[in-house]
């Protein structure tokens, strides 16, 4: 398909700043104003060019049909029990949003408790969180509109399915935690933003509040705030014995946190600052009386479980229950008076159960390489639920008997493909500085290593997030076309603990890009693919990854698919929650960190006349996590500088945010566009 690209003429303004002694131009800053008519006109003009191209791609409709067929399978969320009732989500396959159900027993016919699909005509209102009261009678639930991080919380009577009059606004980065009497719950909120600032205004000064059922939000009790610490955020949860309010205090996206608590039996009890050093991660697991249990990486970067008696809180009195091992301890739950521990061993799941004294009871058996999740419950529960999934294994839900150690299938999905046709293997390669990095590779069995296979290299590498095997529905369609799907576990993630995370942050961030580039070179050297058959993809921090790598090594890739990426590393901290990412990226206001940021910032490292890979930038106009200005500015400059005849386009989804809650129809459309674009640009739809 030969196409002449008449990209929209993007106006340039004379914005020049001196930052840390460096002169930096920013001619497309006007695109940061998402409300301006000029910006909206630019988005419309760009979409017109982009969709005119996408609509002509030979495989687009075929892929959309196949993706719709693959997507159309019944899937379930992890069940849990509260007040004698079971709750879980279900999607019949193509519903835009999953539906929340309640049942009196696991075998009983469930009834609909909340169907988000009835809340908007286009499926863009999603259920962003929910919590059930201890007696199972009331549900606090949050709704997100258009993919925004902002949530509106309501209360529904589980018995009648009717909403009460309670309505809470300007809630963000918060759940809800009921008191045992069911009379109210704790949650966190921000002050209402100024008009026009809802999707880009900076989020500071979160407050922890208590809402009493039947009252107005204006009457909510302010439990804790810190006017002297604008960056602190609070997560309040009531302990199972209803004795304490446990308060996790977060600051930015750093895994390090503080932990405070309040004795709820004391009238107007003071908030006690139990852990206030901000020297490590302290994940509160639960309590047995005054004994508080924490998963921490203090002096143990791969994690351990400790116990702190709050009547004797001095560090000399802390007890280690489960010591650090070679595997990375990622989560712990307290069920059946035992600790269920979830480890990562080379980025795959291992689950072990220990007694309260830290003695190994058993390891949970899984059916292959994959990822397990769940294992939640209360201290006295004798059952729990979990899922297990892999790249070609859709998530199966299991019930686990904590007494016998037996797993039974609760729900197993049936997807219209044959998993036996594919294989997943794990390889290890060496990065630029000699670091050993794991990578999962999935493809059809019998793949010829001839260097000609279309390869989709996906990465993230940041914020202590681990990429573990999970069902790659869109990649099934890719692999059916003869494609290879490769996922390296880059530094910056949490696969090998906090040391691995820190090795990809701030002044070490270039390690992440080097790891990704080394993965591409390994795939080429080992005859999986070659540069003109290689597509790279990632979202959010992974969008930054793609942007940085395509500007550093444009000749190494045939296609780049940066989604909702952080592209302007000098201004990311000026919007919504962007300031919080400085724990991973560093601060543009710090001279040394500025130098590192400026050296890889995708927007600032595009160069005139360079032939860049065929690029499809994707973002959403309601993204208030990574504001769309990042993608807008990057795409505008890419189109200005690009020296090749291949396309560099931007696709802007309307009524869509950072990704959470995106309706199924929208997901299918976007996936079809990306795959069709990649296959066409790699010359594989001829």
Query: How many Å apart are CA 360 and CA 340, to the nearest integer?
Result: 10
Task: Exactly one of 188, 540, 601, 614 is catalytic; name it.
Answer: 540
Alpha helices in 183-319 (DSSP H): none
Quote the radius of gyration of the chain (alpha carbons, Å). 25
DSSP state of 501: H
Asked if 144 is an active-site residue, the reply is no
- Name, in order, each residue with C-beta under 8 angstroms of 590's C-beta and a sequence gap of 6 or more: none
Write out the DSSP string of 399-462: EEETTT--EEEEE----SS-GGGEEEEEEEEE-TTS-EEEEEEEEETT---SS---EEEE----
Nearest by Cα to 292 from 277, 271, 313, 272: 313
Q: Exposure pattern of 172-195 as b/e (b: 16+ CB <10 Å)?
A: bbbbbbbbeebebbbbbbbeebee
Which position has the token pair 């400026």? 598
Task: Exactly one of 501, 573, 630, 658 is catalytic; name it.
Answer: 658
- Name, in order, each residue with C-beta under 8 angstroms of 201's C-beta and a sequence gap of 6 or more: 193, 194, 575, 576
| Beta pairing class for 455-458 and 484-488 | parallel
Asked if 658 is an active-site residue, the reply is yes
Nearest by Cα to 130 from 87, 162, 93: 87
Strand partners, 301: none
Query: How many Å apart are CA 68 and CA 93, to the nearest integer?
Result: 9
Nearest by Cα to 295 from 339, 347, 357: 339
Q: Does residue 48 sit in helix, strand or coil?
A: helix
Query: How many Å apart are CA 27 and CA 41, to the nearest integer?
Result: 17
Query: How many Å apart are CA 462 and CA 311, to the nearest integer?
Result: 38
Q: Exposure pattern of 600-636 as b/e (b: 16+ CB <10 Å)?
A: bbbbbbbeeeeebbbbbbbbbbbbbbbbbbbbbbbbb
Phi, psi at residue 16, to the nearest 5°? -130, 125
- Name, in order, each residue with C-beta under 8 angstroms of 586's C-beta and a sequence gap of 6 or more: 505, 506, 507, 509, 593, 594, 596, 597
Question: Active-site positions?
Answer: 540, 658
């Amino acid at each position: 398909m030969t196409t002449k690209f008449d990209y929209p003429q993007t106006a340039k303004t004379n914005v020049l700043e001196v930052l840390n002694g460096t002169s930096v131009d920013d001619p497309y800053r006007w695109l940061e104003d998402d409300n301006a008519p000029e910006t909206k006109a630019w988005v419309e003009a760009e979409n017109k060019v982009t969709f005119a191209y996408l609509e002509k791609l030979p495989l687009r409709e075929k892929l959309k049909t196949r993706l719709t067929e693959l997507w159309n399978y019944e899937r379930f969320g992890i069940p849990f029990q509260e007040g004698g009732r079971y709750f879980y989500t279900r999607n019949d396959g193509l519903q835009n949003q999953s539906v929340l159900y309640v049942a009196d027993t696991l075998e009983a016919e469930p009834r609909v408790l909340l169907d988000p699909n009835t809340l908007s005509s286009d499926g863009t209102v999603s259920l962003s969180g929910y919590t059930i009261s201890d007696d199972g009678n009331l549900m606090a639930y949050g709704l997100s509109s258009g993919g925004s991080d902002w949530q509106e919380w309501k209360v529904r009577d589980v018995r009648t399915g009717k909403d009460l009059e309670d309505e809470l606004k300007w809630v963000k980065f918060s759940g809800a935690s009921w008191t045992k009497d069911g009379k109210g719950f704790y949650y966190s909120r921000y002050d209402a933003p100024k008009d026009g600032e809802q999707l880009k205004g900076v989020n500071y000064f979160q407050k922890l509040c208590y809402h009493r059922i039947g009252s107005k939000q204006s009457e909510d009790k302010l439990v804790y705030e810190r006017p002297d610490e604008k960056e602190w955020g609070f997560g309040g949860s009531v302990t199972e014995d209803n004795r304490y309010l446990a308060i996790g205090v977060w600051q930015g996206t750093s895994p390090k946190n503080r932990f405070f608590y309040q004795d709820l039996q004391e009238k107007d009890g003071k908030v006690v600052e139990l852990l206030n050093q901000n020297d490590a991660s302290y994940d509160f697991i639960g309590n047995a009386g005054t004994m508080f249990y924490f998963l921490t990486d203090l002096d143990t970067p791969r994690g351990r479980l400790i116990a702190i008696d709050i009547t004797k809180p001095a560090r000399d009195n802390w007890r280690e229950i489960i010591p650090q091992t070679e595997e990375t301890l990622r989560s712990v739950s307290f069920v059946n008076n035992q600790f269920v521990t979830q480890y990562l061993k080379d980025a795959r799941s291992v689950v072990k159960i220990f007694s309260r004294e830290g003695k190994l009871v058993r390891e949970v058996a899984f059916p292959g390489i994959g990822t397990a999740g769940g294992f939640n419950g209360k201290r006295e529960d004798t059952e729990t639920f979990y899922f297990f999934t892999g790249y070609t294994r859709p998530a199966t839900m299991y019930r686990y008997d904590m007494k016998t150690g037996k797993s039974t299938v609760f729900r197993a999905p049936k997807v219209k493909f044959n998993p036996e046709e594919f294989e997943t293997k794990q390889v290890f390669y060496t990065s630029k500085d000699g670091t050993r990095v794991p990578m999962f590779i999935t493809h059809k069995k019998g793949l010829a290593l001839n260097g000609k296979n279309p390869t989709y290299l996906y990465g993230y590498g940041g914020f202590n997030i681990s990429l573990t095997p999970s069902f790659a529905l869109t990649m099934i369609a890719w692999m059916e076309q003869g494609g290879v799907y490769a996922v390296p576990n880059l530094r910056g993630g949490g696969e090998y603990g906090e040391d691995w995370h820190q090795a990809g942050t701030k002044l070490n961030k270039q390690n992440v890009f080097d790891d990704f580039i080394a993965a591409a070179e390994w795939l080429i050297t080992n005859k999986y693919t070659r540069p003109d058959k290689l597509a790279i993809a990632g979202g959010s921090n992974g969008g930054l990854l793609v942007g940085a790598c395509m500007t550093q090594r444009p000749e190494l890739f045939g296609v780049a698919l940066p989604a909702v990426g952080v592209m302007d590393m000098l201004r990311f901290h000026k919007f919504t929650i962007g300031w919080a990412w400085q724990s991973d990226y560093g601060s543009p206001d710090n001279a040394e960190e500025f130098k590192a940021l400026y050296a890889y910032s995708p927007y600032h490292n595009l160069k005139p006349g360079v032939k860049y890979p065929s690029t499809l930038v994707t973002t959403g106009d309601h993204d208030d996590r990574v504001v769309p200005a990042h993608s807008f500015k990057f795409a505008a400059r890419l189109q200005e500088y690009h020296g090749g005849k291949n396309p560099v386009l931007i696709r802007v989804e309307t009524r869509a945010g950072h990704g959470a809650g995106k309706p199924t129809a929208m997901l299918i459309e976007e996936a079809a566009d990306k795959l069709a674009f990649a296959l066409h640009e790699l010359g594989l739809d001829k």
